[in-house]
Amino acid sequence: MFFTYLRRELRRRRKAALVVASGLALGIALVIVVNSVSAGMNQAQDKVLQSLYGLGTDMTVTKAATAPKAGEGGRPRFEFGAKDDGKEQSSDRVMVQGFQTLAASTVDKVASQKGVADAVGGLSLQVMKVDGQFKRGQFKQDPGSGGATRQGGPGGEPRGRVEGGGASFDVNSYSVYGTDVTKAGLGPRTSSKITEGRAFKTSEADAKVAVADASYAKEKKLALGDSVKIKGVTYEVVGIATPDSGDAAADLYLPLKQAQTLAGAKGKITTVYVKATDSQQISAVKRGIQKNISGTTVTTSADLADTVSGSLSTASNLAANVGRWLSIAVLVAAFLVAGLLTSSAVSRRVREFGTLKALGWKSGRVTRQVVGEAVVNGLVGGALGIAVGLAGAYAVTAISPTLTAQLGSGAGGGGGRGPGVVMGGPGISQAAGKSLDIALSAPVSATTITLAVGLAVAGGLIAGGFGGWRASRLRPADALRRVE
């Protein structure tokens, strides 16, 4: 009886039911689109962060910034002894990024802290290569000087001048990252995939091998098996790595011990990359490390996310604030409209409900009938809202608007130059002043769909509650005296 009456009433009042369902559908669709876009923003931001410090890294530990000592200004100096004309001269200056290092034993100290699942050290270097040649100037005698002597000079010296000469040098700068080959699953190297060749083997802890970034390899025309020379040491290229998004963490990757030898920093690292056992306890782990390991700065991925600006940050804030509040406002309005329309429909059915009560229907049964109709309207609205919301999310993904992420340099951290010290890793300093273009998508999760269904039911219950309350207050005698 309940379902039969429900089906007949919904058919008879199709227009009113469609209006209520459409209002709920609009609010639910907006919630789906806003939630999906927000999820896409989070994914885009994760891509930016992952391109900087690698997959799985929750925080980094770097040396706390200190004032440079006298004579440690950090400026690269090159010394040349002039050679004969035409002789190429070359000099490499290998510098530690940020000029701040930690003892390699810090990795074990960090790994022993509560809440730390794994930790690995890395050494970020910048290599400046200067090569070119000096050219000796030529002495040219002044015309007509003959045997004349210079005024005030010794007799017999011809007058003239030196012409030409000088120096022509090319300066090339590139980044090198020393990675612990025994822990390949953590650190900046994980932000790139090996697309040619192979990664480092665990047995190559001190081997003269290198993995080159794909863009750097293309620029320098490097292929598998080629050699690169740094500070007179030759390294064989065994792999080519392509970053998943954004810029690569470094142009060249070397085993950590080799990088330490090149920089004259044996037993030193620039960064400890940390993976927490529980993502919900990252703040607690950060506090523990700062308390127990002095002279360090701990930066989490959340800290780094605060430095990301550009259209990605603007759109993320817009979706999180304006979009969320707008969807809530639309939902509240849709619920109120649905409730008022249902209540108004009850007012027009006074005679009908009065007759049913006169026939023996209890107030609770009348209320359940009204609520049932409203819930069905809500479910229909939910189905329409999910369809429209999915279409909107698909449209955003299909269009894939490009957002720009600019890495800010205002965050403090490792005591280095520019934003490279935010997470202490090589990728950020390399990306300083650069923009990363990220394609926005709008993934729809099962949680979002569940939320939409819940809102549909809630909207129906709220609307049914309004109408049911009105219907339960009707008295058969009063109802029968009114004309519908």
Q: Identify whether residues 115 and 191 lie together within a single domain.
A: yes
pLDDT in tens, 329-344: 777 777 777 777 776 6
| DSSP H or E run through 458 | helix 446-472
Question: Which helix or strand (DSSP H or E) is residue 427 part of?
Answer: helix 426-430
Q: Please write the tens of the pLDDT for every residue from 233-284.
A: 999 999 999 987 656 678 999 999 999 999 989 999 999 999 888 877 888 9
Residues 128 and 256 occupy one common structural domain: yes
Half-sphere exposure of 101 (CA within 13 A, CB side): 18
* Distance from the Cα of residue 94 to its chain's centroid: 30
Same structural domain, 352 and 316: yes
Average pLDDT, integer, range 15-22: 77
Q: Is residue 134 part of a domain?
A: yes
Count of domains observed in the chain: 2
In a domain, residue 372? The reply is: yes
Query: Among residues 279, 296, 262, which one has the least CA distance to residue 62?
Result: 296
- In terms of pLDDT, which residue wins out, 298 or 85? 298
Check whether residue 316 and residue 279 sit in a common domain: no
Q: In the listed set 241, 266, 294, which residue is the last one of a domain according to the structure?
A: 294
The three-class DSSP label of residue 279 is helix
Q: Are residues 243 and 147 in the same domain?
A: yes
The encoded tokens of residue 34 equal 């806003």
Residues 267 and 371 in one domain: no
User: Residue 455 and residue 24: Cα distance in Å, rounded?
Assistant: 9
- The pLDDT > 90 percentage for the chain reads 20
Q: Which residues pair with 122 in a beta bridge?
A: 179, 271
Note whether residue 76 is domain-resident.
no
Is residue 262 located within the same domain as residue 168? yes
| Same domain as 137, residue 100 | yes
* pLDDT value at 118 more than 60: yes
Is the Cα torsion angle 420, 248, 269, 308 positive or negative in sign?
positive
| Cβ-based neighbour number of residue 89 at 10 Å | 16
Q: State which residues form the domain around 249.
A: 65-69+88-151+159-294
Q: Does residue 315 share a domain with residue 285?
A: no
Residues 127 and 221 in one domain: yes
On whether residue 357 sits in a domain, the answer given is yes
Structure tokens at 93: 């200056």
Residue 125 lies in a domain: yes
pLDDT value, residue 150: 46
Residue 398, token pair as written in the block: 């299909």
Q: Confirm whether 133 is domain-assigned.
A: yes
DSSP code per residue over 19-39: HHHHHHHHHHHHHHHHHHHHH
Please tell me whether residues 42 and 96 are part of one structural domain: no
Neighbours of 429 (CB within 10 A): 27
More confident position, 406 or 450: 450
Mean pLDDT of the chain: 75
Q: Which of 269, 294, 319 finishes a domain?
A: 294
Give the per-residue pLDDT at 293: 92
Do 404 and 339 share a structural domain? Answer: yes
Token readout for 379 is: 């479910």
Which helix (H) or strand (E) covers residue 374, if one does? Answer: helix 363-399
**Structure tokens belonging to residue 59:** 């925080």
- Which of 122, 126, 155, 3 is closest to 54 using CA atoms? 122
- Residue 373: which residues within 8 A CB-CB, separation 6 or more? 6, 9, 10, 17, 342, 464, 467
The answer to whether residue 81 sits within a structural domain is: no
Domain stops at, among 294, 324, 339:
294
Percent of the chain with pLDDT over 70: 62
Is residue 301 included in any domain, yes or no?
no
**In this structure, what token pair is assigned to residue 392?**
């909107």
| Mean pLDDT computed over 132-160 | 59
For 53-64, what is each residue's pLDDT tens digit? 555 677 889 888
Over its C-alpha atoms, the chain yields an Rg (Å, rounded) of 36
Kindly state the helix (H) or strand (E) to which residue 235 belongs, with its residue range: strand 233-243
